[in-house]
Amino acid sequence: MRAGEVTVAASAASHWRSYWQLTKPKVVAAIVFTAGVGMLLASRGRPPLDLILPACIGIWMAAAAAATVNHVIDSRIDRAMMRTRRRPLPTGRLTPRAALLFAGVLACGSMAVLLLWINVLTAILTFLSLISYSVLYTAYLKPLTPQNIVIGGAAGAAPPLLGWTAVQNGVDANALLLFLIVFVWTPPHFWALALARRVEYAKAGVPMLPVTHGVAFTCRHILLYSILLCVVTALPCLTGMTGLIYLSGATLLNAGFVKRAWALNVHWTSERSMRLFHYSITYLLSLFALLLIDHFCRL
């Protein structure tokens, strides 16, 4: 291969890598995982393998589209923050127009897959989640209120519910419980990060809770939400959705969450905030893995 061809190939690879970064692959992977758990929990026996793959693809495309729109709307904020200034739009590797076109293709593809291979209800709920996250949360709530992540958290909590409706073509109490777990988990997860990055959020003009109400107030709310999370994650046992395997693991995970949230209230440091933030990711993925293990063990 000639030097010019190598340069063109490298440039093309870098270009597509930038598009891939717009989709926030790690976040979207977690979204698809929780949606997949919702599908498997909704199965009354053998998992419907013919539904799982297209449902995961459709939900992935919608989540990637929402993440891309988020990049476009947040490009000004991203330029002001150390954590995000190397993203494709702030660096100029991609234009907002190209990113929006990419998001449109993903969104249309998602709706086509879900309508053709899954069901109308899942397609509608997925579309509403996409709009809620990319428009209601990112464009409206995020720059307006410190309760942005509480109200906007509904969009991020939707994936397990979408997975459930993909299989059942309906919503019941257990599906809403899965939604509620992620909904209550979301504020302490994001506030832990916001505490560590509060100076950057203030510089960017984003009214996150630590910016508007201070560190101590935010730490108290993280602890309160952590306690509420303990209660909510016990509900699947009370409804008969799960058994002792899940309850035992969830109890240990909740103890770790509350311990870290309490430590923030005793003595806040940026390092402790980030430890809670990283633990919260492991917590959620482990909790949903426990739901899955408990489900199949009971079957």
Higher pLDDT, 248 or 140: 248
Q: Is residue 48 helix, strand or coil? A: coil
Are the C-beta atoms of 189 and 277 separated by less than 8 Å?
yes
Dist CA 116 CA 89 (whole Å): 33
Q: Among residues 111, 33, 16, 36, which one has the least CA distance to residue 66?
A: 111
- Determine the pLDDT at residue 46: 78
pLDDT of 6 over the 50 cut? no
Dist CA 92 CA 89 (whole Å): 5
pLDDT of 10 over the 60 cut? no
Q: Among residues 283, 137, 123, which one has the least CA distance to residue 291?
A: 283
At 133-163, the pLDDT tens digits run 988 898 888 988 999 998 888 889 999 999 9
Q: What are phi and psi of 92, to 5 degrees?
A: 85, 10
- 11 — pLDDT class (breaks 50, 70, 90): low
- 44 — pLDDT class (breaks 50, 70, 90): confident
Local structure of residue 46 (DSSP, 8 states): S
pLDDT of 165 over the 50 cut? yes
At 73-122, the pLDDT tens digits run 999 888 888 888 899 999 999 999 999 999 999 999 999 999 999 999 99
Are the C-beta atoms of 246 and 236 separated by less than 8 Å?
yes
pTM: 0.94
- Determine the pLDDT at residue 2: 57
At 273-298, the pLDDT tens digits run 999 999 999 999 999 999 999 999 98
Torsion sign over Cα 156, 160, 164, 170: negative
Higher pLDDT, 223 or 47: 223
Q: Which tokens go with 202? A: 């203030």
Are the C-beta atoms of 194 and 215 separated by less than 8 Å?
no
Q: What are phi and psi of 242, to 5 degrees?
A: -130, 175
- 4 — pLDDT class (breaks 50, 70, 90): low
